[in-house]
Amino acid sequence: MTQLPHGVNEELADKIRSVRRTIHEHPELSNREHDTQALVWRELTAAGIDDVKEVADTGLIATIRGGKGPGRTLGLRGDMDALPIQEATDLPFASKNAGVMHACGHDTHTAIVLGATIALHRARAEFAGELRCIFQPAEETEPLGGRRVVESGVLDGVKGILSLHVDPAIPVGKIGVRAGPLLAGGQEITIRVKGTASHAARPHLGADAVLAACAIVQALQTIPSRRIDPLEPVVVTIGKIAAGTAKNVIADSAMIEGTLRVLDEGVRTEVVRLIRELADGAARNHGCTAELETSGGEPVLMNDPGLTDLIRRTGHDLLGADNVVEIARPSMGSEDFAFYVQAAPVSMFRLGIRNEALGYTHPLHHPEFVVDESALPIGAAIIVESARRFLDGKD
């Protein structure tokens, strides 16, 4: 391996790989990252980093102060949780926890941010300002760690936050950057429909919640197609309907569950308002009522142009311009790093991990998902060098 700058040398690359493999072998679900937290804490302590505190129960924050006095504060964030998926790779360090797998690469994010934290700690005499390195639990499921970290106040005073996500669509050796929206904002929706039960053969004596629910699902599809500017991406997906008790009874209730995705917070407000209005109207048309509940959901992940350009230029210098992919379109997936937007400007870059020759091409959340580990020191070097430039005030 060629020497990457600022202390991401072969010794540290080995450390990142071995920590990553240990975490991969012992994956933990959201908000249960106890062993992962303990491992990261041990590694930080072993590296001489002693200002480490618990955050969001199973997460950690490590603070590093530059030796050149006060300056700007930068946050780094890696997520730590795994998914309820049975691993189907033949890796020697495949998951030992049945039904749990690091299929979204959060093991690599934790190890890379740990490696970057160690490299920056070793170089702390050379910069001013402060680093807050977050090892965040529960990116995948509520209660989301990103929200809890931001609400805990540990990011107060931070002027920028960097993070990364592995990307099996981008070849190893490259990174992907994008200013503006990178990932969609989401929201869970539940609509409870109330009707009146009656005999199936005397429908006029009841109010059919099944019919009302079907009408609501149809009506909601007119939101993206007829009510929102077609140039504004919106997804309204109903993934589940539950209703009725018997085939010869008019159902007196139905429950509709789904999710929405937007790339603009104003559009989200309008879509939620329209869902309420259309569900209410469609239910009334059938003599029923509808009640909308929204819950959870991530904000839109808005990459700050300045921070994104910092990563882009760092990528150009370390990897060459050809190896910095400009991501043309945002994704309608969502990610809880978006909550950090509420604390400071943020930027998340994508780290290429695809290797066609080795067959590492499976998508995220797939049981055969495999990472090309030669990406690990590249991710760490991009973070370390971007952090150095930010703290040196050159960006």
Residues engaged in binding Ni ion (CB under 5 A): 104
CB of 109 to Ni ion, least distance (A): 8
The nearest distance, CB 283 to Ni ion, in angstroms, is 37
Place of tokens 């109010």: 207
Q: Is 335 within 8 Å of 186 (Cβ atoms)? A: no
CB of 183 to Ni ion, least distance (A): 10
Q: Which of 386, 371, 395 is nearest to 102 (CA)?
A: 371
Q: Taking a C-beta distance cutoff of 8 angstroms, is the pair 64, 133 a contact? A: yes
Beta carbon of residue 140, minimum distance to Ni ion (angstroms, whole number): 7
Strand order of the β-sheet with 234-243 is 234-243, 253-262, 185-194, 289-295
| For Ni ion, the closer CB: 83 or 288 | 83
CB of 105 to Ni ion, least distance (A): 6
Report the residue number, 104 or 310, with the smaller CB distance to Ni ion.
104
Nearer to Ni ion, 280 or 372 (CB): 372
Nearest residue to Ni ion on Cβ basis: 104
Residue nearer to Ni ion on the CB measure, 104 or 274: 104
The minimum distance between CB 76 and Ni ion, in angstroms, equals 16
Distance CA 280, CA 114 (A): 50
Q: Is 312 helix (H, G, I), strand (E, B) or coil?
A: helix
Which residues share a beta bridge with 392?
Answer: none
Residues near 81 by beta carbon (within 8 Å), at least 6 away in sequence: 28, 29, 30, 31, 32, 33, 106, 137, 138, 139, 140, 141, 145
Alpha helices in 74-207 (DSSP H): 106-122, 145-151
Q: How far is the CB of 103 from Ni ion (least distance, A)?
A: 9
Angle 177-107-263 (CA atoms, 0-180°, nearest 5)?
40
Pick the closer one to Ni ion by CB: 164 or 243.
164
Closest contact distance (angstroms) between CB of 68 and Ni ion is 35
**Which tokens hold the place of 156?**
């107060």
Judged by CB, which is closer to Ni ion: 104, or 220? Answer: 104
Query: Which residue(s) pair with 261 in the sheet?
Result: 186, 235
Backbone angles phi, psi at 191, to 5 degrees: -120, 125
Q: Of 101 and 104, which CB lies nearer to Ni ion in the complex structure? A: 104
Burial of 248 (0-12, 13-18, 19+ CB in 10 A): exposed
**319 SS3 class:** helix
Least distance from Ni ion to the Cβ atom of residue 139, Å: 6
Of the candidates 291, 294, 293, 289, which has an alpha carbon nearest to the alpha carbon of residue 212? 289
Nearer to Ni ion, 259 or 289 (CB): 259
Name the minimum Å distance from CB 1 to Ni ion. Answer: 26
What is the Cα–Cα distance from 104 to 287, expressed in whole angstroms? 45
Place of tokens 């009707």: 195
CB 66 within 8 A of CB 127: yes
For residue 60 the two structure tokens come to: 């950690």
Instruction: Tell me the C-alpha distance between 160 and 55, whole Å.
Output: 19
Neighbouring CB atoms inside 10 A of 212's CB total 29
Q: Which is nearer to Ni ion, 108 or 253 (CB)?
A: 108
Nearest residue (CB) to Ni ion, 104 versus 175: 104
